[in-house]
Structure formats: structure tokens, C-alpha cells
Chain A
Amino acid sequence: MKPSPFDYHAPRELGEALEVLFGTAPYGKILAGGQSLIPMLNMRLAAPSHLVDINRVAELDTLSVEPGGVRVGALARHAVVERSPAVAAVQPLLPAALRLVAHPVIRNRGTVVGSLVHADPSAELPAVLAVLGGSVRLARHGAPVREVAAEAFFTGPLESAIEPDELAVSAFFPALPPRAGTAFREVARRHGDYAMAGAAAVVTLDEDLRIASAKVACVSAGPVPVVIDLSEVCARRPAASADWEAVAAAVRDAVDPDEDIHATAHYRRHLAGVLAERALRVAAAEAQRAAAGAVAGGVDGGGDHGVNGAGEGSE
């Protein structure tokens, strides 16, 4: 099928984009990579009367490593973020999750911020933002920008806190602290499909290499990414002697997956437990490696990686 007609706007500056969006709200929709929006338009699941194409707004095509994390501009394509060594050094969970997002060809076009705004509870990037405690920066014509924390940003399936006249200009993914590790594990029917279940995990160790904090965000486990703090269940023990069965049970209790043609709710719940445990074990091993590296004298905390402009994909 083909999209229904819409009025097309192609601003070159952010201010202009915000003005158009303000003037057409609530009937306008932002087009960035279009890898989720255009299928919805093609199938006429969405039929906005105005489309604001931000692909020419060069100031949104940014990717920078800031103190404390990575800031991804609205036009940074998945592929650019995935391949950035500076991003991988500061927050390895981001490239690990990006490799699971659809297919390489889709990632050439799709944007990280677009995936967040699309807010699919089965998608990887909302879970990454949620488990890291990141945030999304929203701009609106004639108003100061506001920064919305992940926990307040995702409000339901395909729903976020963004207002119809707001544009998500960037997202912030906090850096990995010292002695910490991450991992993403998922099970999908086919490579590149939305996962039936999955978990993004972050583990931080204390100076004696015991688990100080352990957190997962589960995908396809509820209306929004389900963040579960498992620090107490891990009971400040080393990874080797943690009660992983209790961890998996706590995850199974915390998720509330739906059932569909691909999997029963029971099976998804089971998968969530298994995948969360696997992701946490890998994250704990990564954290141990990071701690050992730091002790060995390597400065491996992220500091001076410079700014990596997202040149690729700019017009």
C-alpha cells in the first residue's frame, strides 16, 4: 500500500522545524530515519496530515561523548553510533544493543532517537535507555528545552511523554562507571525481528568484587521496558556465589508479558528469567574484567576520547 497524502515540510533549521510542528500540532509528525514511521504510513496505520522531514537539519546530525556519557542527536543513524569507537569505550551496551536492532541495511537509515520516540516495548534501545537511567531532551517552539528521564519518558506501548508540538532533539546515555559491565541477550523468531523476550543488564562491583548493584531492563515484558533492580537478591556476593536461580525467579515475578501468535505469556516469562540471568552473568564477568584492567594500571574509564562528530549520513 501507499501512504495517504500529507503536507510536506522540509525545514533546514531546528527553529523552523519547531515552528512548523507548533503550527500544525497535533496533526504533524516528525520524519527522521523513517524505518518505523514509513511502514506505518505505507500500511496506513498512521496518516498524519503534516510531515516534518528533519533530514536536512544539519544541527541535529550530532554524536558526542560528553563528561559522564554519550549524547546522540536526532539524526544520528543507528549505524554511525554502532560503529563509533568512542561510544563503545564510554558505554559498550549501546553498540551491543544496536547490533540486535533490525538488520544492517535498516540501521543505515534508522535513528537512535527515532527508536526511543517510537517507544516500542519490544525494541532494544528503550530498554538500554531505561536500564542506564538515561534521558531524552525535548524542544518546543517558544519554550525552554526539557530533559525527561527514561522512567518518565516511556508511558505505554508506542507512547511516550513527548507532546505533539515537541521534537526529541537528542538522547543521553550515561557512561559505564568503574568496575561495571553490561550485556544484552534476546531471543527472536528470526534474526532482526522484534524479540519475544530479552534483557539489558548492568552490573557494578564493589572494591572486593562483590555485586554492589545489578539491574536489568526486560523487553517484550510489559507495556514499557520493565526495569528490575536485583541488587538485593544478589545480596552483595561475588558473581560466582550469587543465587542466580533466585535472580531469575525475581525477574519472572516482576514481568507481565502479553501472549500472541509467537509465544505464550508463560513462555515469555520463562525466557525473561533465563535471559536476564544470562545477561547479568555476562555483565558481571565484564565488570570483573574492567576491575582487573583498572588494577593492572590501565586507565580504562572512558575519559579522554574526544568528540566524534557523526559525519556519515550528513547531507
Chain B
Amino acid sequence: MSETTSGTAAERRYAISLTVNGTVREANVPARRLLSDCLRHELGLTGTHVGCEHGVCGCCTVLLDGEPVRSCLTFAVTVDGREITTVEGLAGPGGELSPVQRAFSECHALQCGFCTPGFLCTVTALLRDNPAPTEDEVLDGISGNLCRCTGYQNIVKAVHRAAELTAEAEGGAA
């Protein structure tokens, strides 16, 4: 991270470098730029949605070095040099949907889709850490993500389905 300035009264900017979905990306941002805004505005990755911007809704959840975090409660400068995975990075190299994405599609776990990127990132990490969660563990795991359309039933179903799909894929590969 290095400091840059442009203009006399302009806010100081910082040159940062993030590895986003496997690609090194550079941006020049003021210190107060939220990671969510950096991803959307500087890097053009508009899959990360911004709902409440104070950590309640979970729409902006991304993976920071593999761990789900609120990108609206993180400054881009703080995570200079780290790895970020956004919803754009969940699908396979050929664009095939990840098990979590497939399960959400199959189970109709989205309607308007605004909350979906946050759910997908949260659930991807949840199932990586706990490949066969119980009902309570699923509810606890997604408790920080709000959906205003589905009533959650199909989202919960999709999490279990994604666990099945992952297990099948791994069983098939073995």
C-alpha cells in the first residue's frame, strides 16, 4: 500500500492490491472506501450487493482469505494484499455453477435475488467448515443474512441440498 495524492485539497488516496477471485487487482482508494464500494465501483464487480451498510442484512458478505465477512464493515485499505472471493468467483472455471449455486437454483431459494450473493458466500464457507450441518447449525449459520422474499424455507432446503451435492461430487471423484 502506498500513498498517493492528486490535487491540493483532494483526499489522500492509497494504492492497494487485492487478489480478487484469483486475479490480482489494483485500486487507488481513499482510506474511507468500504471494501463493498471498492469491489463495486473501483473493480466493477457489482455482484456484491449493498443493502443496509451497517452490518445487519448480510447482502455484502464476501470471503476474506476464505472466511465470510461483511464487506461494508471493512475498509479496502485494511485488507490490502489479501485474498477476496466474491459471488463472481464461486462458479467453476468453465462457468459451471458451484454446488451451492446449483442447490439455490434447484430449490428456488431466491426470488428477487438481492440477498443471494451474500447467502451464497456465507453458505459456501459454512459447508466447507461443516459439510453435513444439522438444521440448527444451518439456521445459526445463515442467521446473519436477511431475505425479504422467500421466508427462508427454501434457502434452508438449498443448504441441505448443497451439502448433498458436494458429498455426491466428492463420492464420485473418490
Contact B144 A109 (CB under 8 A): no
Q: With A and B bound together, what is the CA distance between A8 and B126 in angstroms?
A: 33
Chain A residues with CB below 8 A from B31, complex form: 6-8, 51
**In the complex, chain B residues 56-86 whose Cβ is within 8 Å of any chain A Cβ:** 58, 61, 64, 67-70, 72-75, 77-78, 81-82
Q: How many A-B residue pairs lie within 8 Å, measured between CB atoms?
A: 92
A-B contact pairs, 16 of them (CB 8 A): A3-B32, A5-B30, A8-B31, A8-B32, A35-B55, A35-B70, A38-B34, A39-B55, A103-B144, A104-B126, A104-B140, A104-B144, A105-B144, A106-B144, A108-B67, A109-B69
Interface residue? A315 (CB, 8 A): yes
Chain B residues with CB below 8 A from A2, complex form: 32, 34, 37
Contact B144 A102 (CB under 8 A): yes
Contact B70 A109 (CB under 8 A): yes
Contact B144 A38 (CB under 8 A): no
Asked, given contacts A5-B32, A103-B144, A105-B61, whether A55 binds B78 with beta carbons under 8 Å apart, the answer is yes
Q: With A and B bound together, what is the CA distance between A42 and B31 in angstroms?
A: 13
Interface residue? A31 (CB, 8 A): yes
Q: With A and B bound together, what is the CA distance between A31 and B37 in angstroms?
A: 19
Question: Dominant SS at the A interface?
Answer: loop
Chain B residues with CB below 8 A from A191, complex form: 139-140, 143
Contact A42 B30 (CB under 8 A): no
Minimum CB–CB distance for A250 against chain B, Å: 33
Chain A residues with CB below 8 A from B148, complex form: none
**In the complex, chain B residues 140-171 whose Cβ is within 8 Å of any chain A Cβ:** 140-141, 143-145
Q: With A and B bound together, what is the CA distance between A31 and B76 in angstroms?
A: 13
Contact A35 B32 (CB under 8 A): no
Chain B residues with CB below 8 A from A104, complex form: 68, 126, 140-141, 143-144
Query: Which single residue of chain B is at the shortest CB-CB distance from A8?
Result: B31
Q: With A and B bound together, what is the CA distance between A2 and B37 in angstroms?
A: 10
Contact A39 B73 (CB under 8 A): yes
Minimum CB–CB distance for B157 against chain A, Å: 19
Minimum CB–CB distance for B86 against chain A, Å: 15
Minimum CB–CB distance for A85 against chain B, Å: 16
| Residue among A102, A105, A192 with most chain B CB within 10 A | A105
Minimum CB–CB distance for B147 against chain A, Å: 14
Q: With A and B bound together, what is the CA distance between A135 and B76 in angstroms?
A: 33
Minimum CB–CB distance for A52 against chain B, Å: 11
Contact B78 A105 (CB under 8 A): no
